[in-house]
A = this chain, B = another copy of it.
Amino acid sequence: MESVLENCSDRKRKTLLAAMEVFLDKRYDCTSMDDVAARAAVSKPTLYKYFSDKEPLFAEIVRATIGEIDDLERLVAASIAGETSVESGLFVLARRLIGVLMQPRILRLHRLVMANAERFPDVGRNWYEQSFEHVLATLAINFQGLANRELLHIDDPLLAANHFVGMLMWIPINKAMSTGDNSSSPEELELYAVAAVRAFLAGYGPTSRSAIGENGDLKHEAK
């Protein structure tokens, strides 16, 4: 999907980015169109020319961010295709996924979508289906490709993709979302990436658990 932002005029794009900052800082309920106009340094008539009200503005902010997450799909495919062994591909993939998904701005928008999911289920469903499910489906296709080459043992590639991401993201995303601390150290994220890849290879990998070395490398190349 093409990013919504690419289709916007420069001024509308800047207004949308300013609006996103206001929503993130003040939350949906406390944000007014006046706040947005002031932050974006546009007049109220200009703002209303772009966005008819607060709700469609919120929906467009979420759509624009989904466009960014689309880039993640390309990264997912490139991570696996660009590496010579399954384990090095999974390490690259894990680091990229956790790096993108743990960005403070993505975490804050994720929190904003969840906070308003009961009131705006269409926005939340769009976010879930177009970002979350899309990335997982792309990952599943790539895992199936590895399974076809006997580099992974997988019955259900979509479940395997969810297990991979679930093991990778469970601790850091819950910690950040619950405590409001959106900053994770690179060292901490690296630990989760290594642990998830090791556990995934132990369960779904081409060789038995005993073939995985202490540093997470396979001792011998997958056949």
On whether A179 and B111 interact (CB within 8 A), knowing A163-B170, A166-B169, the answer reads: no
Of the listed residues A116, A153, A162, the one surrounded by the most CB atoms of chain B closer than 10 A to its CB is: A162
Q: Within the complex, which residue of B165, B178, B209 is in contact with A117, where a contact is CB–CB below 8 Å? A: B178
Of the listed residues A108, A119, A168, A170, the one surrounded by the most CB atoms of chain B closer than 10 A to its CB is: A170
Find out whether the CB atom of B30 lies under 8 angstroms from the CB atom of A179: no
Give the complex CA separation of A132 and B116 in angstroms: 22
Give the complex CA separation of A179 and B123 in angstroms: 8
Q: Within the complex, which residue of B108, B160, B167 is in contact with A163, where a contact is CB–CB below 8 Å? A: B167
Binary contact track A153-173/B, C-beta < 8 Å → 1, others 0: 100100110110111111100
Give the complex CA separation of A202 and B206 in angstroms: 12
Q: Is A93 an interface residue (CB 8 A)?
A: no
Q: Is A174 an interface residue (CB 8 A)?
A: yes
On whether A177 and B208 interact (CB within 8 A), knowing A29-B27, A163-B199, A169-B166, the answer reads: no
Give the complex CA separation of A177 and B132 in angstroms: 12
Q: How many residues of A contact B (CB 8 A)?
A: 49
Q: Is A41 an interface residue (CB 8 A)?
A: no
On whether A204 and B208 interact (CB within 8 A), knowing A167-B167, A171-B162, A179-B121, the answer reads: no
Find out whether the CB atom of A170 lies under 8 angstroms from the CB atom of B165: yes
On whether A196 and B118 interact (CB within 8 A), knowing A125-B179, A179-B128, the answer reads: no
Which of chain B's residues has its CB closest to A115's CB? B115
Find out whether the CB atom of B132 lies under 8 angstroms from the CB atom of A180: no
Q: Is A91 an interface residue (CB 8 A)?
A: no
Find out whether the CB atom of B163 lies under 8 angstroms from the CB atom of A115: no
Could you list 11 examples of A-B contacts with CB < 8 Å? A27-B119, A29-B29, A117-B177, A121-B181, A125-B179, A128-B179, A132-B178, A159-B199, A163-B196, A169-B170, A202-B203
CB A94 to nearest CB in B, in angstroms, measures 13
